[in-house]
Amino acid sequence: MSARVAVQAPAQDAQVPTTDAPKENIFMFVPNLIGMLIISCLLDALDGYAARSFNQSTKFGAVLDMVTDRCTTTCLLVFLSTAMPRWSMVFQLLISLDFTSHYMHMYATLAMGGSGSSHKNIDAKRSKIMHLYYTNRTVLFVCCALNELFFIALYLLAFSSPYLTPSLLQPTGEGASLQPGSPIMPLKPSTIFSSPWSAGAMEMARANKMDSTVPWILVVISAPVMLFKQWVNVVQIVKASEWLAQGDLADRAKAGLPKKTQ
């Protein structure tokens, strides 16, 4: 027993950093600090650049980058589901697609590529579209920024456009209009809500003062990029599934499966 311990000791010691090595706080690395920001989804290219510049690429940072992006987008989509109940199924589908594609992609990368692999290192032979998305910093930044901008514009339209939120439209006589950009002029909040400081009255007051022209322009500009990003998510699911299935087939072959029938 003592000989066995003596043999294993050097291997264990080799994994422990020497006392002379400077101690580092992974959580305070520059790219990880960027990843902890609320707007980290808009800074995807910046945190990667910082990681390379400061030589601070870490597994924690890779996971944090993906988790914060998913949380930010999900919170926004959850709000849109409550603000636009008619479209809630669409927003729920987008949440499911976003989480599924990134989880499967990350898991496939770790399971098949090894623990040292990065989910952003995509071989063009596997998928040209994913290779372009993850390796071109300009494409990555534009896709992430305009994708979030699309949902932010929808947030603004939830308070200004009767097309998406019919409850904003109130009878105002011949002057009522459904044209995008036309300010909505419903009944005064004081005639509907007992308290002018209630949540409903404040939301209606906000809608009355907000013009929908700019949000509609932002939606039109960002919609193609948002759709492209959703297509990337679909491709991620397909490619990750195929990669995992290949690994399953290889493992089954090593185990002699399927066994030949007599």
Tokens at 8, concatenated: 């294993």
Of 81, 109, 106, 85, give the one whose Cα is nearest residue 95.
81
180: phi > 0 → left, psi -120 to 50 → alpha, else beta; which? beta
Distance CA(253)–CA(143), nearest Å, equals 40
- b/e burial code for range 42-71 (CB count within 10 A of at least 16 → b): bbbbbbbbbbeeeebeeeebbebbbebbbe
- Find out whether the peptide bond into 162 is cis, omega within 30 degrees of 0: no
DSSP structural state of residue 38:
T
Instruction: Round to the nearest angstrom and report the end-to-end CA distance of the chain.
Output: 47
Distance CA(257)–CA(254), nearest Å, equals 7
Tokens at 212, concatenated: 């929908």
In order of 3, 10, 12, 21, the CA distances from 15 in angstroms are 20, 9, 6, 13
3-state SS assignment for residue 258: coil
Catalytic residue among 69, 123, 248, 251: 69
Distance CA(108)–CA(88), nearest Å, equals 30
Distance CA(158)–CA(175), nearest Å, equals 21
Q: Specify whether 123 is catalytic.
A: no
Which residues carry out catalysis? Answer: 69
